[in-house]
Chain A
């Protein structure tokens, strides 16, 4: 579904990603882990087009994303839930969700999709009329995830959905994601600092360090890998 080949990208001449290849098959749950500054968010931004690539290619269902304007990409079925939530703080919760639904796929069956989102994340229904900027961090994360789901995407990209949340809330977010994935059969690409959980549930995992893939494999294998255990799991 998503095929990234030999990608290099960065900010004003300074390359952050070097010759990086990542693949996501339809229906898969793929996790990317790695230390701060490894380039995980940069990878997501390059996929979405807010960071310009320097080389390589990104194919989504066979289509070359680099030829498309950033704002055209979500319409193909890619939802990007960015790091740090980035909700529209001066819009209400419902309006935030509606913004997710401006893609063709999102507009279709919007009433049903909204009902479905509310059933996964009931807090959004309770807070529908509240300005998103006044919500707690955890609630804002629900808005960001709900907003991504509102576009009825084929691929949901989540950048550190547990960032800045208390462990209990982070667990809750994770459980929700698993529930949503099971119900909707979504393809998910996840970047996470909670390495154990992220690899536990993943069909495939990548370890990114200083802009390069240093390890890849199925989740269980990676989790059992000595280097991963030492560096990320503290074992």
Chain B
């Protein structure tokens, strides 16, 4: 192989890996987009909701003994999907007890529409979840392994012996992510539920005049966002080990993805996450792995300077 061929191959390899991880990041970002992008709630605990989702999937897998009757391949994915409704309930409860006090119609008159209160409240929730998980689960690294985690599909050889391999676990996770996003996108775009969620976020007071229970809509969106990010976390955990503080690594990626995609756009958040996955993987070709995250933020800054409204941002001013 010539040097150019090696470079082409590693680039293709990075793109393939970037698309797979990007799809999962995309799902993660979409979860935050429901909460931050659509409902305009600043949630610092989003990464920790994801962490809880990872543990929930792990315990669903081990405590229910799923692999013994579903097999080691299907079991973990079923566990991840079981964790989703659990985290929906968790998000619902957190909103019902805490978040609703600092959001929606209650805070329309507060300074910064309650954003300061949200910031402090969710930071507090994040700290409690991180340290609570530390006490309950300990600091050891856990992962949701499947036989697919160390198995790959080889694509090729093409163009004089080039080949790209795709990790099977990531491939499955990426496919599940895409299916969930397409389904969610349809719900938000076309169903009455989705439209009333958007209406309640857009103008809570007017939504009440339509007969929309705004508090419930906000709660639904918050719980959905929690469940979606948690699902992304579970899918990620089939390939990456996690620990109680894993949320910190991802919450920044999530915010970057949502802002890149354009605040308020769910599909944009997906592409934002995808872009981050690609940049992260491509950067490894020329830079040491430790600089991955730095590259993401250089890219982020560039986009924010060149296109402040994000990929899909609209310049429709909200009234």
A residues adjacent to B (C-beta < 8 A): 48-50, 69-75, 79-82, 84, 86-91, 95, 98-100, 102-103, 131, 133-134, 147, 151
* Contact assessment for A89 and B210 in the assembled complex, using a CB-CB cutoff below 8 Å: no
Determine the main DSSP class of A at the interface with B. mixed
Of the residues B195, B210, B318, B319, contact of A151 by C-beta under 8 Å:
B210
Within the assembled complex, what's the spacing in Å between the Cα atoms of A72 and B210? 9
Among the stretches B75-83, B211-219, B230-238, the one at the interface with A is: B211-219
Tell me how far the C-beta of A46 lies from the nearest C-beta in chain B, rounded to whole angstroms: 13
Q: For chain B residues 176-206, which have a beta carbon within 8 Å of chain A?
A: 192, 195-196, 198-199, 202-203, 205-206
Contact residues in A for B208 (Cβ distance below 8 Å): 48-50, 70-71
Is B158 an interface position by the 8 A CB rule? no
Is A86 within 8 A of B319, CB to CB? yes
Q: Which residues of B contact A74 (CB under 8 A)?
A: 209-211
Q: Given A50-B209, A70-B208, list of 16 further CB < 8 A pairs?
A: A48-B209, A71-B208, A71-B214, A81-B209, A82-B205, A86-B205, A89-B318, A90-B314, A91-B195, A91-B198, A91-B202, A99-B199, A103-B210, A133-B316, A134-B316, A147-B210
Q: Counting CB contacts under 8 A, is B140 at the interface?
A: no
A39 → B minimal CB distance (Å): 17
Cα(A183)–Cα(B199), bound, Å: 29
Tally chain B residues at the interface, Cβ within 8 Å: 24
Closest 10 CB pairs of A and B: A74-B211, A86-B206, A133-B316, A80-B209, A71-B213, A88-B202, A99-B210, A99-B199, A88-B199, A70-B208
For the complex, would chain B's binding face be called helix, strand, loop or mixed by DSSP majority? Answer: helix
Given contacts A98-B192, A102-B192, contact A89 B316 (CB under 8 A): yes
Using CB atoms, name the residue of chain B closest to A70.
B208
Query: Which residues on the A side are within 8 Å of B214 (C-beta)?
Result: 71
> CA separation between A104 and B208, bound complex, in Å?
15
Q: Which chain A residue has the least Cβ–Cβ distance from B209?
A: A80
B207 within 8 A of A: yes
Q: Which of B209, B211, B213, B317 is within 8 Å of A89, CB to CB?
A: B317
Contact B209 A90 (CB under 8 A): no
CA of A4 to CA of B319, assembled, Å: 31
In whole angstroms, what is the CA distance A98 to B196 when docked? 9
A103: nearest chain-B partner, CB-CB: B211
Q: Does B121 contact A (CB under 8 A)?
A: no
Given contacts A49-B208, A75-B211, A102-B211, contact A95 B318 (CB under 8 A): no
In the complex with contacts A69-B213, A98-B192, A90-B318 CB distance below 8 A:
yes
Contact check: which of B105, B196, B198, B317 meets A133 at CB < 8 Å? B317
Which residues does chain A contribute within 8 Å of B207, judged by CB atoms? 88, 99
Residues of B within 8 A of A70 (CB): 208
Q: Which residue of chain B lies nearest to A49 when distances are taken between CB atoms in the complex?
A: B208
With contact pairs A71-B212, A72-B211 given, residues A88 and B198 touching in the complex (Cβ less than 8 Å): yes
Which chain A positions have C-beta within 8 A of B203? 86-89
Considering only CB atoms, which chain B residue lies closest to A72 in the complex? B211
Bound CA span A79–B207, Å: 11
Residue of A nearest to B108 (CB): A50
Report the bound CA distance from A49 to B192 in whole Å: 23
Contacts of B199 in A (CB 8 A): 88, 91, 95, 99
| Interface pairs (19), CB distance under 8 Å | A48-B208, A49-B208, A50-B105, A70-B208, A75-B211, A80-B209, A82-B206, A82-B209, A86-B203, A86-B209, A88-B203, A89-B203, A90-B264, A91-B198, A99-B207, A100-B210, A102-B210, A102-B212, A147-B210
Cβ distance B209 to chain A, nearest Cβ, rounded Å: 4
Please report which residues of chain B, range 289-319, place their CB below 8 angstroms from some CB of chain A when the two chains form the complex. 314, 316-319
Q: Which residues of B contact A48 (CB under 8 A)?
A: 208-209
Docked-complex contact A133 and B319, CB < 8 angstroms:
yes
Closest B residue to A107 by beta carbon equals B192
What separation, in Å, do the CA atoms of A133 and B211 have in the docked complex?
21
Asked if A90 meets B316 with Cβ closer than 8 Å, knowing A71-B212, A102-B211, A151-B210, the reply is yes
Give the chain A neighbours of B195 by CB distance below 8 A.
Answer: 91, 95, 98-99
Most buried by A among B195, B205, B206, B211: B211
Q: Please tell me which one of the listed residues A81, A86, A99 contacts residue B212 in the complex, with CB atoms under 8 A apart.
A: A99
B211 and A71: CB pair below 8 A?
yes
Chain B residues with CB below 8 A from A82, complex form: 205-206, 209
A66 to chain B, nearest CB (A): 15
Do B314 and A131 touch (CB < 8 A)? yes
- How far is A81 from B210 in the complex, measured between Cα atoms in Å? 9
- Distance between Cα atoms of A131 and B211 in the complex (Å): 21
Kindly list chain B residues whose C-beta atoms are within 8 Å of the C-beta of A103.
210-211
CA distance A119 to B268 in the complex (A): 36
A89-B319 contact in complex given A95-B195, A98-B192, C-beta closer than 8 Å: yes
Complex Cα–Cα for A88 and B199 (A) = 6
